[in-house]
Structure 1
Amino acid sequence: MRFNYLDFILFHIFFLATLSVQAKYFNDSTLSKDAVELDMHTKEINGLKLLHLWQSLDQDSLAINPDVVFIMAGKNDIYQLHNPQAEHTFSSNYQKIISSLKQKGIETVLFNFSPLTIKNNDFNIPDHSASQHNQINKANKIIQSLAKTNEIKWIDMNSVYANFNNTAGSEFNSDQALNPGITNRIAANKAYEYLVKNKKLDKKLKVLFLTDAPTKSEISTWNEQEKSIQFHFSKLLNWQKIAPYFKVPDKYKGDRGSFRDPFTFDDQSKVTSLEDWKKRRNEILTSWHAYMGEWPKFIENPNYEVLYSINKADYIQKKIRFEWVPGQMTHGYLLVPYQANNLPAVVTVYYEPETAIGEGKEERDFALQLVKRGFVTLSIGTTETTENKTYSLYHPHIDSATVEPLSLLAYASANAWHLLAGLPEVNQEKIGIMGHSYGGKWAMFASCLFENFAAAAWSDPGVVFDQERPNINYWEPWYLGYHPRPRRERGVPTANNPAKGTYLQLLKDNRDLHELHVLMAPRPFLVSGGEEDGEHRWIPLNHSIKANQLYGYNDRVGMSNRPEHSPNPESNAIIYNFFEYFLKE
């Protein structure tokens, strides 16, 4: 008697994978800020039984010389466990695999099988014959006995599911229990926990997941590649690349400073629930648009003209022209990986679009580096106004603007989002935005004011007003201090050269940019802090952490720090890893 469709769902559905891990372990059981390098190989072995798995070890699986092997095999043998002879065969073949690994000095860890039935409240996975339950129990007893006899570790998947419940706060609900990706995620978590607990991630380590893979007919039922253990294990490792930057230093934990409380309504009532917060969020957004001017209608279906196209080694570079503000055209660069389909994307913003594609100052080639990592990227910039030193966008005219220029830049980015979202190469749910300095301010306002951006990285923009820092110059007329020409003399506001316009009014009303940051929740963002955004900026960012907690999320607000304003390879790597973790499936 073979297992049916549901049996397949609840059994381990894994591919043969090898993982090369380079990391450093430290005291709080996470990895250090050193990069984790993952070199993965997969091999599909359809319908293989334990005997065949053992026979193929030397010529196949062990050729990679693994340090640790997790055995997740036997699914295709269990249905035979209906008599003592079959149990002996199962045990004997399993032992052959263990012995082959021990002879080569390879550390071995066993996984047992999850149960077929999960009961909780009113939810009960449908009936299975008593014999099937008995077969699983027999297999698990054999695996546990083999672990004891061979003095090796085993991971109890059965108990994880046996303790499954559907009560409030449970990690999994009843629908998720039927999802093979959940089973794989649990297994990946358990394998990862084992490696961390036993300090196996403090050196270069090669890990092998040894399994009898599903048959081709079973694979056709699921998009297996997207739900495999490799995917979930990779996510765990990728998180550890950025996890340290999402941890508030102890001295700043809970410190929200003297900033205006964004969780108090204009009528002085307090936010006490997520429903309250959604209303308060709208109140904040409305008030800031009132200060800065209402946006024109979005250009939701922007046509773009390809000026030229170049085939590069890993991607196609297209110079394009499109309307980003009503009546105003711009050019930019669309970088698309070959054979792209439904990929995540990132908009990069700067003084001009050439820098981000690698034709400007070093360590600012964000669009180029991201396309090499599998993102579609769109690089845009304010070329003409940079050249004439007006530095921004003005609507309808520089001498009669109705929207603060920095807000209008955010609006233009929203139209760039619409352009990307209309491309078949792009997953519109996974479009982020980033920029450095001038571009950091631009990206910050764009992502906070336009909620369709799924994630954002702001490189040293100055995340709050600070008139002691000349480069945090939101008072300038091309940001929030718009006024018709002639313009005030450039520089820090003084009694003889005061700030003008909206910026001055925002200061008088005790408003600050932390009120925009909280609009990001629950979307993740990373401050890539430099000279202008030191570690003390966690104080305003703590407000965003509180906003995310209202949605039930932690680890959505991050900050890295470097001494210089300019980005460097290390700070950029954190940004790229951030987008890979949050935007890639």
Structure 2
Amino acid sequence: MLRFTTTAGLFLILSAGMCHADDVPWLTEVTTPSGISLPSVPSAFLKKADGTPITTLEEWKPVREQIRAQWLDFLGPLPSAKEPLTVKAEKTEDLAKCTRTLIRYEAEPGRMVRAYLLKPKGVTASGRFPGLVVFHSTTRETIDAVAGKGSKPEQGIGLQLAERGFVVVCPANYLWEQSSYGEAAAATKKRHPESLGMTTMLADGMRAVDVLLQQTEVDPHRVGTIGHSLGAKEALYLMAFDDRVLAGVSSEGGMSLHSSNWEAEWYLGRQILNPGFARTHAELAALIAPRPFLVLGGEAGSGCADGERSWPPLKVGQQVTAFYGQPVRMGLLNHHQGHQLTPESAEKAFEFLEYALRSDPQVSPQ
């Protein structure tokens, strides 16, 4: 059975402060909104019953558990996973800097998932590498694209990250298990009538973390995630609900519930459009805090999901980080080049993950 873990006891190992020598040198640029005004009044859930702001970790913890429970109730039960996890290797390629293996494993009873597992060559001082779940975007090439086997080499971020020293798993999204997204969503709903399409994506992401942690080469305290577009949505939810994931990058997924197609039946459904819908992604940012989390935006017109409008939920995450007395490592890099993961922003994302998941990890579950 897949289980949610809790970050109520998460503590950062580093001392407090806004920027450290072991952070990316451009951290302040992405954690500080520029040229926009943000509300100074805390979100409603960052206030106590008497209306005064929450200011301490002790005050925040029970609120965090309440928000988490409300989201789990909305998402519905996670699909069960068969234990123990059995990973079947189908084909291994020996590349210049890593190996790339096509694998299959059971995400839930009777349902197999395809993925690529990439492992860097060489050794490290500790004998272990950081691990990453790399989600693919909306493309017919699915896992081939991110694993470096697709028609656009620049999309092969999984391969690129393996070449930089990460053990990478690239899982296939369930939307390609049927002939259309609608049919895939309907099949998922038939299996799990009380759960949302996003719930299966989340469960599949957690199962991919299981695959990573099964690899002896992976340091369990240095696991992260990254994704673009569809994959960015998966990275956001995986970080919010799986505390084994200690850092993440979400590129053009939509931090606001109304800045992308979150209402699609394969995500959260049209109920999020109802007046008075209570859940917000500011709550997800709060659940992610205080872990390092970078949003990449390309807002330069229509079709973009992230940009300056992504700041309000991120600012909430920053406020929650303060309860832990820790440096802020949650922010936005807006490249203004549309709905894409540009080579320049990808390089920044890789650098961010390298710093966040270095050999002396920033975040450790207690």
* TM-based fold match above 0.5: yes
Letter in 1 for 2:349: I
Give CA deviations for 1:384-407 in whole Å, capped at 9, x if unaligned: 626622276678654753211112
1:583 counterpart residue number: 357
Match of 2:280 among 507, 512, 517: 512
1:458: how far off? 0.4
1:474 counterpart residue number: 262
Letter in 2 for 1:321: R
Match of 1:410 among 202, 214, 225: 202
Cα distance, 1:457–1:393 mapped onto 2, change above 3 Å? farther
Alignment of 1:461 onto 2:262 = no
Contact 2:188 2:200 in 1 (8 A): no
Q: Which runs of 5+ in 1 are unaligned?
A: 1-170, 173-234, 482-498
Alpha-carbon RMSD across the aligned residues, in angstroms, is 2.6
Contact 2:85 2:106 in 1 (8 A): yes
Q: Supply the distance in 2 between the matched residues of 1:383 and 1:368 (Cα, whole angstroms).
A: 22
1:309: how far off? 0.8
Contact 2:81 2:106 in 1 (8 A): no
- Aligned residue pairs total 327
Match of 1:521 among 276, 289, 302: 289
1:435: how far off? 0.7
Secondary structure at the aligned position of 1:313 is classed as coil
Which one is further off, 351-360 or 316-325? 351-360
Q: Supply the distance in 2 between the matched residues of 1:463 and 1:256 (Cα, whole angstroms).
A: 19
Letter in 2 for 1:353: I
Letter in 2 for 1:520: I
Contact 2:31 2:331 in 1 (8 A): yes
Alignment of 1:281 onto 2:64 = yes
1:245 counterpart residue number: 30
Contact 1:461 1:533 in 2 (8 A): yes
Letter in 2 for 1:408: T
1:20 counterpart residue number: none
Q: Which runs of 5+ in 2 are unaligned?
A: 1-13, 299-303, 360-366
1:504: how far off? 4.0
Letter in 1 for 2:216: P
> What aligned pairs does 1:412-491 form with structure 2 within 5 A after superposition?
412-466=204-258, 469=259, 472-481=260-269
Match of 2:325 among 527, 530, 552: 552
1:260: how far off? 4.9
TM-score by length of 1: 0.52
Q: Supply the distance in 1 between the matched residues of 2:175 and 2:199 (Cα, whole angstroms).
A: 18
Q: Supply the distance in 1 between the matched residues of 2:128 and 2:97 (Cα, whole angstroms).
A: 17
Higher normalized helix content (fraction of residues): 1
Q: Supply the distance in 1 between the matched residues of 2:187 and 2:118 (Cα, whole angstroms).
A: 28
1:375 counterpart residue number: 166
* Largest Rg, 1 or 2: 1
Match of 2:154 among 363, 384, 387: 363
Letter in 1 for 2:357: L
Query: RCO greater where, 1 or 2, for CA within 8 Å and sep 6 or more?
Result: 2
Which one is further off, 236-245 or 336-345? 236-245
Give CA deviations for 1:233-271 in whole Å, capped at 9, x if unaligned: xx837621444222232634x6367x9523136897853
Cα distance, 1:295–1:367 mapped onto 2, change above 3 Å? same
Contact 2:290 2:328 in 1 (8 A): no
Contact 1:385 1:393 in 2 (8 A): no
> What aligned pairs does 1:285-364 form with structure 2 within 5 A after superposition?
285-297=68-80, 301-339=84-122, 341-350=127-136, 351=138, 352-360=142-150, 361-364=152-155
Contact 1:305 1:321 in 2 (8 A): yes
Q: Supply the distance in 1 between the matched residues of 2:177 and 2:335 (Cα, whole angstroms).
A: 27
Cα distance, 1:384–1:290 mapped onto 2, change above 3 Å? closer
Letter in 2 for 1:359: K
Secondary structure at the aligned position of 2:44 is classed as coil
Contact 2:22 2:355 in 1 (8 A): no
1:293: how far off? 0.3
Q: Supply the distance in 2 between the matched residues of 1:379 and 1:237 (Cα, whole angstroms).
A: 28
TM-score by length of 2: 0.81
2:363 counterpart residue number: none
Letter in 2 for 1:373: R
Match of 2:272 among 503, 508, 516: 503
Cα distance, 1:542–1:279 mapped onto 2, change above 3 Å? same
Cα distance, 1:515–1:384 mapped onto 2, change above 3 Å? closer
Contact 1:271 1:280 in 2 (8 A): no
Cα distance, 1:504–1:398 mapped onto 2, change above 3 Å? farther
